[in-house]
């Protein structure tokens, strides 16, 4: 039983009513994906993209009213993570372009409504091995 005077957020009450512990996490939850952005670094960028992919798949569980707000929040969070990554990365330009393309493909999958990201070997998010020649040498976006 709850202690008198203990205040729970509406979300915690919802989880308790549904018989689910708010702390239980077997993967990303809608509310954590909606509220939190990840500090994407050179070491964890694949895991971060996989996490955003999992968050995108949760869109199918939402009502159409909430789906648009959730999608906007996911895109904002991924943008913030990408900006943090670009400001702190020590990767080469070609590697950064690959990560950027992976993030763009992920956002495109959300706007197409599929909510899934291309998966590579062993179920990890993959990115292109060689950058496409859209940026002539010396005119890249990350100089």
User: What secondary structure does DSSP assign to 83-141, as a single string?
Assistant: HHHHHH--S-HHHHHHHHHHHHHHHHHHHTT-----B-GGG-B---SS--TTS-TT--T
**pLDDT greater at residue 6 or residue 52:** 52
Average pLDDT, the chain: 71
Q: Give me the mean pLDDT over the 86-94 stretch.
A: 92
The candidate with the shortest Cα–Cα distance to 46, out of 112, 106, 2, 5, is 106
Q: How far apart are CA 118 and CA 92, in angstroms?
A: 23
Q: Does the pLDDT of residue 92 top 90, yes or no? A: yes
Q: Does the pLDDT of residue 103 top 80, yes or no? A: yes
The per-residue pLDDT for 84 is 92
- pLDDT bracket for residue 24 (50, 70, 90): very low
The per-residue pLDDT for 31 is 84
Of the ranges 16-25, 63-72, 90-99, 103-112, which one carries the lowest mean pLDDT score?
A: 16-25
- pLDDT bracket for residue 27 (50, 70, 90): low
């Amino acid at each position: 039983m709850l202690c008198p005077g203990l205040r729970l957020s509406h979300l915690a009450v919802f989880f308790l009513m549904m018989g689910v512990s708010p702390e239980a996490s077997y993967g990303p939850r809608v509310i954590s994906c909606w509220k939190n952005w990840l500090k994407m670094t050179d070491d964890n960028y694949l895991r971060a993209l996989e996490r955003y992919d999992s968050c995108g798949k949760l869109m199918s569980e939402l009502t159409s009213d909430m789906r648009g707000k959730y999608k906007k929040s996911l895109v904002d969070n991924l943008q913030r993570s990408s900006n943090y990554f670009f400001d702190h990365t020590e990767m080469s330009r070609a590697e950064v372009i690959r990560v950027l393309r992976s993030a763009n493909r992920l956002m495109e999958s959300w706007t197409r409504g599929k909510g899934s990201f291309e998966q590579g070997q062993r179920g990890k998010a993959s990115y292109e091995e060689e950058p496409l020649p859209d940026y002539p040498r010396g005119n890249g976006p990350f100089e």
